[in-house]
Homo-oligomer: A and B are copies of this chain.
Amino acid sequence: MLDTPNVDRKGRRREQTRREILDAAWQVAREHGLTAITLRDVADRVGMRAPSLYSHFDSKHAIYDAMYGEAWTEYEEATRLGRDGLTDDMRAAAHQIARGFFDFAVADPVRYQLMNQRIIPGFEPSSESYAPAVRVLEASYTAAAERGVTDLDDVALLLALLGGLIDQQLANDPDGDRFSRLLPRAVDIWCDGVGIPSGTTPQETTP
């Protein structure tokens, strides 16, 4: 983490240009798909020629890498607030986290594809961009352990179930809520299966 936030003028200008490039890349991705990003298209939208992007990113994959890091950081921050207010009751907490992640994924499918699906041919995130993803995962294991679920396999099972439901939702009912509606029951079944007591779980309200 060598990048200081760059308080000097030049550094701030540079940072702003990077921001514009990334915003343009997200824009292209949401319009035409993640794999349809081309350097020429991105450059056009920020008023540059394609090769000029290399002054700010080492390669196209470096742009994907920055986007990947952004996406996981967004989720980390979105859930941090929720984490403070996370119930002590494991079952309720499981519902809360599952719902949060599910909705976060469905709210921006392109972002989720980048975060959790291997859709860009040669791309693997750098360790720096991967860091927030690791932190989120570790926080999940910790939160579970603090609430009595100490078997790592149990948490892995919940995450697999959650990912499977999200995949089905995005692939087979992208504009509906068929699998979203299945989520609460799926979480309850998991809780029952791994022996989590019922506690005082308020039924999820669907307003």
Contacts and interface: CB of A to CB of B under 8 A. Distances in A.
Contacts of A161: 160-161, 164, 186
Interface string A180-198: 0010011011101110000
Copies of this chain, count: 2
Contact of A160 (B119, B157, B167, B193): B167
A149 interface: no
A167 B113 CA distance: 13
A186 to B, nearest CB: 6
Contact of A119 (B36, B119, B156, B194): B119
Q: Which of A157, A171, A179, A185 has the most chain B CB atoms inside 10 A of its CB?
A: A157
Contacts of A178: 156
Question: What band does the interface of chain A fall in when counting residues whose beta carbon is under 8 Å from B?
Answer: 20 to 34
Contacts of A171: 118
14 contacts: A35-B121, A118-B119, A156-B168, A156-B182, A157-B185, A159-B168, A160-B161, A160-B165, A161-B161, A163-B168, A189-B189, A189-B193, A192-B192, A193-B193
